[in-house]
A and B are shown apart, each in its own frame.
Chain A
Amino acid sequence: MLRFLRVSVPLLLILAVVLWLLYRSELKVREAMQRAAGESSVQLASQTIKVELGGLRGDLLYLADEVSLHGWLSSGARADRARLGADFLAFLQHHRNYDQVRFIDARGREVVRINTDGGQPVLVPDSALQDKSGRYYVNKTLALRAGQIYMSPFDLNIENGVLVQPIQPVIRLGTPIFDDAGRLRGLVMLSYRGRRILDYLAEIGSRNNTALWLLNADGYWLLGPDTATEWGFMFPERREMRFQRNYAQAWEAILAGPAQGQLKFDQVVFTYSKINPDQTPTWRGGRGWVLVAPMPRASLAADLALYARHLFVAYAVLAALLLFASGVITFKDTQRRRSEARTRESETRFGALLQAAPDAIVILDQSGRIKLINSQAEVGFGYSREELVGRQVEQLVPASFQEQYCGDFAGYLKNPVPRSMGVEAELSMLRKDGTAFPAEIRLSPLHTGQGMLIISIIRDISARQQAEEAQRQLQLRYQELVNNLPIGVYRNTPGEQGSFIEINHAMVDIFEAESVEALLAHSVSDLYCDPLKRREFSERLMRQGSTRAEELQLKTLRGRPFFAAITAVMKRDRQGEVYFDGIVEDVSERKESERSIRQLNGRLYARSVELETINRELEAFSYSVSHDLRAPLRAMDGFSLTLLQDYAGQLDDKGKDRLNRIRAAAQRMALLIDDLLKLSRVSRTEIVWTQVDLSRLAEEVMEELQASEPQRRVSFSVQQGLSAGGDARLLRILLANLLGNAWKFTRRCEEAKIEMGGNSDREGYIYSVRDNGAGFDMTYVDKLFGAFQRLHDNREFPGSGIGLATAQRVVSKHGGRIWAEGEVGRGATFYFTLDKGADL
């Protein structure tokens, strides 16, 4: 746009200036022409007037010399008068520019008169002749000398004192007539039809395209712009219609100026000429006339305006043409610039492309000389640009390939189209450091102004080859993995029949095939005991997308049926074709073991139901024992005591002893029953698992024992931080039994010591309760944890023999183990574990 303006605006300005100058010169020419027209028309008009007036005089003098006139003057005969009349008539017939010709005698009486009536000259009869004596023109003429001419002012004809209408401008010319004797005899008077000269002037004006006015010396128009303003001095109402009234300044200048001239005013230019119709040498007003050609500037301006309009139209047309031309120029220019920019850009782009290309690019001429390389080539070959440009490309080819390369390159030049080099053979290129690398080379011709160049794009494919090798290895590994798997892996097609696409070796074994090929030859449905199931399976898999460990009855190629678990997924390849990937496992054995497990479970369930019944019975039994077994004992003890107290006198010592024995036995049995109940309660208790602080629990139990026998001194130590997951009440029973035992069996020790501790072992954490009491014989260690089993004398260490059985029950309920070590007289150590997994 800017460029367009830069072109178009100066052109338009120049055009405007040119047209303006044209306008100016036209203005000047027009003014000059107008002036010239004014001058020439004024000149022509004044010449015409002179000639016409000259003619008038000639005519008059001719008439004055008329032979018949002088003949008549001499004779005074009627015949001569008639001849004179006939001559005058003839004259008027041939000179239509006159209205009238008369001979008036010296006394002022008309003698001969020819009028023009209806266009025809008519001899006026004597009776109609008038006496014109006293008329100013008669007197003036009669006062002249011979040959002198009186010329009346140019005015309008008045007949009998009345202005003839339509007006008749008239100039009367008279000359005195002397007879041969030199006596004044009268005068000849010619009335000139003034219209004629006015018509001439009007004709000249219109020919010159100017108005032409004729003024008399008083400034009255004889010929003016408008007939209504003419002849002002003849009409009382037009008295004021004078030139100077409208153009006072111009009139002054004309009166004061030379005989001819031009006056310029704002509105109008006057070209004038002062005329002396009576041939006086200088114009002094009076009878003089003034010819004026007024040239209104307005008409010039109108003309010029038209011209200017034409110029403007021309300007508009030319401007449009110029704008169009500018547009074309700008467009062409822009196109040229663009094309240049494109070329530059393309060059830049080519350079950038060359540098940005991921591959090494080497551009050669046809002789194999390196013209240009990119930075990838510098990096790839290890040379700098300066080292390579201008050298032969053979420098980059290993010696073993030189021959082949040269042949290929020469072959390429014969048919230079973009193509790869060495499609079959693997190419390699040489680096600066002497190492070679496998390469893929693509050649392409580049047509330049300096002839054809060869672009060779060199791709180092060593990484790709390595990647391909790695990919191949990876594939091999996966193939091996799949083939090594002991379960069948397959890929097959969906459908009623289905065919295998891939299978692993395990498939061959599972289906007892001779080889992979043998199995691939079968359709999938061949392997189903019921081929309809294959269809169902395929449809279900299509619907669900996958199945998991679906069990089906399949058969081997040898016809052996077996249970198989199939896990499969539906997939689509890139073409959208559906296929199934799956694994097959022979689960016949598992099915068999599941069946036996189910059987076992069934039995187990029956057993547990049975056990539950037994348990309930046992519970009822225990309850009954606790109530009903004790009542008789209470009776035995109670009534024995009653006997001892109430009937003491009737019993001897032996009797009393027996009663006391009954009582002791009853009480011991009550104790046994209580312990048995405790044991059964432990068995029946549901474990409530919490984290139990065993150290603290042991201390509490020891405090209770100490409180029951405050007089005893026992050294007790507990390892701190012993903790286990288990039932707090049961664990308290366990520790109460173990520590209670230790307490009991250290009764006879001088320095009783009880230790509670624990340490980690393979089996888990092992807790121990150690004492230095009576100990036991390891021979009987088996009996230690049996119910009612005792290793010591009841009198020495009384007890029910149920405590350790209870302890063992607690430990086993916790999933642990209890055992003991001991030696008679050296103490005993009880070890137990609790379920490691239950540790919270």
Chain B
Amino acid sequence: MIDRSILLVEDNPDDELLTLSALEANRIGNKVVVARDGAEALDYLLATGTYAGRDAADLPSVVLLDLNLPRISGLEVLRRIRADAVIGLLPVVILTSSVEDEDRVQGYRLGANSYVRKPVDFDEFIKAAGQLGLYWLLLNQPPPD
């Protein structure tokens, strides 16, 4: 289980680097797959498109999902995950700058497992990443395969 990957869906390269740094700072060594938009994220999870041929059964422990994404928005990605029979139960944590009520309500309504705001203060971000890793990779029991 400890070997299982994390899928980070993030279009902003700065945020991608910062997130990876924060995970690294917490010594989380799990493989982090980065998808740079919603479509890529879905292709990865469903083993379609550019990821066709990937072992579809190899799913990440958690998906860290930004909302403001090109092509397919984060909420739409979430909706499609939940609509799918195979990956419907995948833990999804929304990791975003937005604190809009509407986003939170929609996120939870579509079945997000957690909603975390990215703090501007990087110290805080590192703490948050550490707690996320600790919780979703170690503490949380994923659904059975």
Contact = CB atoms under 8 A, between A and B. Distances in A.
Interface of A: 623, 626-628, 630-635, 637-642, 663, 666-667, 669-670, 674, 677, 681
Contacts of A637: 120-122
Nearest to B21: A642
A630 B21 contact: no
Interface string B5-29: 0000000101100100100000000
Given A635-B15, A635-B18, A638-B18, A627 B96 contact: yes
A628 B118 contact: no
B97 A630 contact: yes
A726 to B, nearest CB: 19
A634 B122 contact: yes
A638 B21 CA distance: 9
Contacts of A638: 14, 18, 21, 122, 125
A677 B98 CA distance: 10
A651 to B, nearest CB: 17
A635 B67 CA distance: 18
Interface in B68-93: 68
A83 B137 CA distance: 214
Given A634-B18, A634-B125, A638-B125, A627 B98 contact: yes
B57 interface: no
B97 A626 contact: yes
A681 B67 CA distance: 19
B145 interface: no
9 contacts: A626-B98, A628-B97, A630-B120, A631-B12, A631-B97, A634-B97, A638-B122, A641-B122, A674-B99
A633 B18 CA distance: 12
Contacts of A639: 14, 18
Nearest to A646: B21
Nearest to B12: A631
Contacts of B12: 631
Residues of B contacting A: mostly: loop
B3 interface: no
Contacts of B21: 638, 642
The 5 A-B pairs of least Cβ separation, nearest first, read A670-B120, A635-B14, A638-B122, A638-B18, A641-B122
Interface of B: 12, 14-15, 18, 21, 67-68, 96-101, 118-123, 125
A631 B119 CA distance: 9
Contacts of A642: 21, 122
Nearest to A674: B99
Contacts of B68: 627-628
A640 B18 CA distance: 11
B96 A634 contact: no
B118 A623 contact: no
Contacts of B125: 634, 638
A523 B91 CA distance: 90
Nearest to B99: A626
A633 B12 CA distance: 13
Contacts of A670: 120-121
B123 A666 contact: no
A393 to B, nearest CB: 104
A626 B100 contact: yes
Contacts of A632: 14
A39 B100 CA distance: 165
A13 to B, nearest CB: 122
A623 B99 CA distance: 9
Nearest to A635: B14
A634 B100 contact: no
Contacts of A627: 67-68, 96-98
A674 B118 CA distance: 13
Given A626-B99, A627-B68, 9 more contacts: A626-B97, A627-B96, A634-B14, A634-B125, A637-B120, A638-B122, A642-B122, A667-B120, A670-B121
A245 B18 CA distance: 181
B5 to A, nearest CB: 23
B98 A666 contact: no
Contacts of A626: 97-100
A635 B21 CA distance: 12
A639 B121 CA distance: 11
Nearest to A645: B25
A637 B21 CA distance: 13
A212 B68 CA distance: 171
A634 B122 CA distance: 7
Contacts of B14: 631-632, 634-635, 638-639
B21 to A, nearest CB: 7
A641 B21 CA distance: 11
A305 to B, nearest CB: 133
B96 A667 contact: no
Contacts of A677: 99
